[in-house]
Amino acid sequence: MMRPAISLQGTGETFYFIADYHALTSLQDSKELTQRVLEVALDFLACGLDPEKSVFFRQSAVPEVHELAWYLSVLCPMGLLERCHSYKDKVARGVGANHGLFAYPVLMAADILIYQSDKVPVGKDQKQHLEVARDLALKFNEHFGETFKVPEPDIREAAATLPGVDGQKMSKSYGNTIEIFADEKVFRKKVMSIKTDSTPVDEPKPVEDSILLEIAACVASSEQLDAMKASLLEGGRGYGDYKKELFELLWAHFEPFRQRRAELQKNPEYVKQILDRGAVRARATAMQTLDQVRKAVGIAAL
């Protein structure tokens, strides 16, 4: 998610926020939430987000999104939300059903529309939610007059959905991620736990839908990927060897990111200042949009 998002900075005015409002649908430990906000900020900055080229802030620093979410909610058909697979999938996996989780796509639509976004980088799993945002923008414009830009999805097909170590979609909710900033022992253990089939060592290994190859493709050069694929097809090596190879590839790739994060972690006040500056810029844009919305719906001051 970070790579395609960060690649857009400098191409226009770009907005990046830490979704702490959304996090409350599944995390209600205040201390843990505060810590995770800092960690996500460190992750983005370590991975190359430049606060001089972009607007980086906490979602909760722009409370105007909730007012916009209400205006969108009164136009949102129940059926539109009932068809959203993410809610049904999370509930089926044991996440507690609550209104916030159910109405998540409306708040996400407000997050997008309040900044008059042209393009939104998403994975395939979030494409449906972006369609909800588009539907609500069109519905609002039709009912109240042209107010919102209708955003377009930006899906990087090469990694539109990345598999986790168990073969399902990689997600913290499923506990199947490889944490790129984990210590070496934990990182190695996660890579070595990647699910593989029972093909014997001497036989060729399938390369279609290979979790090892799909994860490697995110960081490997075309030559490295071709070599791994050829070796799998040739046979003669066990999956353990390929997992070790993948670990080395990932560990080396993220080394400069880890160094940068370690430096930033020494100065949390600097990170907070970046988020605060971003919030000022984000709120200015959000309030401009909200003024237009209030006039459109008839709630502006007389």
Q: Please tell me whether residue 118 adopts helix, strand or coil conformation.
A: coil
Residues in a beta bridge with 152: 119
How far is it, in rounded angstroms, from Cα 48 to Cα 180?
14
* Same domain as 81, residue 142: yes
Residue ranges of alpha helices (H) inside the chain are 2-6, 20-23, 30-46, 64-73, 78-82, 85-92, 99-102, 104-113, 124-144, 184-192, 211-216, 222-234, 239-253, 255-265, 268-297
Comparing CA positions, the residue from 161, 5, 151, 9 lying closest to residue 86 is: 161
* Same domain as 203, residue 70: no
* Same domain as 193, residue 104: no
* Same domain as 144, residue 36: yes
How far is it, in rounded angstroms, from Cα 167 to Cα 161?
11
Q: How far is Cα of residue 164 from the mean position of the Cα atoms in its chain? A: 14
- Span 64-100, pLDDT tens digits: 999 999 999 999 999 999 888 888 888 887 777 889 8
- Span 224-277, pLDDT tens digits: 999 999 999 999 999 999 999 999 999 999 999 999 999 999 999 999 999 999
- Span 173-232, pLDDT tens digits: 788 999 999 999 999 999 999 999 999 999 999 999 899 999 999 899 999 999 999 999
Looking at residues 143-154, what average pLDDT do you find? Answer: 94
* Same domain as 133, residue 8: yes
Domain of 138: which CATH number?
3.40.50.620
Q: Express as a percent the part of the chain with pLDDT over 90.
A: 75
The answer to whether residue 247 sits within a structural domain is yes
Q: Please tell me whether residue 188 adopts helix, strand or coil conformation.
A: helix
Domain of 225: which CATH number?
1.10.240.10
* Same domain as 65, residue 214: no
- Work out how many domains the chain is built from and give that number: 2
* Same domain as 274, residue 239: no
What is the reported pTM? 0.85
DSSP state of 172: G
The answer to whether residue 166 sits within a structural domain is no
* Same domain as 105, residue 225: no
The answer to whether residue 290 sits within a structural domain is yes
The answer to whether residue 113 sits within a structural domain is yes
* Same domain as 213, residue 283: no
* Same domain as 221, residue 283: no
Paired tokens of 152: 């377009």
Quote the domain boundaries for residue 131.
2-160+267-297
- Enzyme catalytic residues: 90, 169, 172
